[in-house]
Amino acid sequence: MKPGLHQKILAGLLLGGAAGVACNVLAADARWLAAVNTYVAGPVGQIFLRMLFMVVVPLVFASLTVGVALLGDLRRVGRVGAKTIGYFLVTTAAACVIGLVLVNQFEPGGGLDPTTRASLLETYRSEAAQRAPEAGAGFGIHTLVNIVPRNPIDAATRGDMLGVIFFSLMLGIALTLLPSDRARPLVRVLEALGDAMVAIIGIVMKIAPYGVAGLIFVVTSRFGWGILRELAVYVAVAIAGLLIHQTVSFSLLLRFLGRMSPWDFFRRAEPVMITAFSTSSSNATLPTTIKVSEEALGIPKEIAGFVLPLGATMNMNGTALFEGVTVLFVAQVFGVDLSVGEQAIVLALSVLMAVGAAGVPGGSIPLLMLVLQAVGVPGEGIALVLGVDRILDMCRTVVNVTGDMTAAVYVARTEAGLRPVPEEVEVVAAG
């Protein structure tokens, strides 16, 4: 039997990871390994990522506008939006609570050797400084104002997804207010644009196994498993929290709110989770998320087009959990005892910052530094975890995109209902 696309991607992930670890063990400082990363593995992986990012803005614009337009009645748009945002906030807060409970229970920062701490701070201090948030960053009234773009085209060129989403929502709402004979031509153009982006995704996914292999090879050949040993308890606590939320929380939500078999969901969503793990980006995974949700999960086009682009920008369950764990871990390392009230602040800020985190690799780090500073923990302490951030980023992105899909299942089930799909379906992320 010929292997499917997701099986090829998984094979590329495993082979690239194994080869990278082997090279790290045998020739970590070799010049030829640096050359392979610079001229072969790195470019292959980055070309794959760039081709996915290339379609994100037009796909979000087309999908969200059409999704709102097809929802029709403004009261329905508001109802679907309220359900979506409510689901995002509740599940994100639940994820953060799981992380905080685990880190309080196991205290990974209490046992970190002072020598290791000094070494990690020295190694990654410059990188932490580069990722420090810009002056004036954070949440405030300016954040609300900046959601509204002065120029939607400028917002698109800068990758300002909140600006693109706001303009798309307004255009979709405007189309619902026009007579159908006036709105339909533009809706059809946008539907064609969305279909064209999906076709491009099909082309891009042909090289996915090679791009994934290149991305994971660069990471594992650089860090290997040595730094994991240094931060083993922290990494284990973070991954355990992500696994609990992924397998337990989402399974319960799917069973009782989505009325869907968790086993069936995870089986059909496998290509999305593999793509998320390898790219570490909700935005880069979004094209595949939309395609798989519509074709393998039976989510109506208007629901998928509305919920999933919002989720890729606003729904960061895994990121909130990671931020909560990391803030308490760094506080424990520096001997800062956070009270229950201060941990409640960490919870609230982690949820808010997760909403504002960029859906790209490492996009949560600058905002995480703001959370640290807000509770009196040195911001440069983020240097302690930068060495393992890429691996944790891969894990939390899987949780982020899974949360988006479970939200779409829930909203679809309570609105239009899920479309029937074949029992055995080859997910056509490759077109």
For 137, the 3-state DSSP assignment is coil
What's the pLDDT at 97?
95
> DSSP states of 274-322 as a string?
HHHHHH--HHHHHHHHHHHHHHHS---HHHHHHHHHHHHHH--HHHHHH
Whether 132 has a pLDDT exceeding 90, the answer reads no
Number of domains within the chain: 1
Over residues 29-66, the pLDDT tens digits come to 888 998 999 999 989 988 988 887 788 789 888 888 88
Q: Is residue 430 part of a domain?
A: no
Are residues 276 and 261 in contact, defined by beta-carbon separation less than 8 angstroms? no
Q: How confident is the model at residue 160 (pLDDT cuts 50, 70, 90)?
A: confident
425 in a domain, yes or no?
no
Q: What is the pLDDT of residues 301-351, one digit of tens each?
A: 889 988 998 888 788 899 999 999 999 998 888 888 888 888 998 888 888
For residue 139, the tally of other CB atoms under 10 A from its CB is 14
Contact 397, 281 (CB under 8 A): yes
- What CATH number does the domain containing 367 carry? 1.10.3860.10
Residue 420 placed within a domain: no
213/17 Cα distance (integer angstroms): 7
- The answer to whether position 424 is within a domain reads no
| 342 domain residue, yes or no | yes
Nearest C-alpha neighbor of 192 from the set 67, 84, 63, 100: 63
pTM of the model as a whole: 0.79
- Domain encompassing residue 218: 5-414
| Residue 17 within a domain | yes
| 36 located within any domain | yes
Helices (H), 357-385: 365-374
Distances (CA, A) of 302 to 313, 388, 406: 18, 38, 16
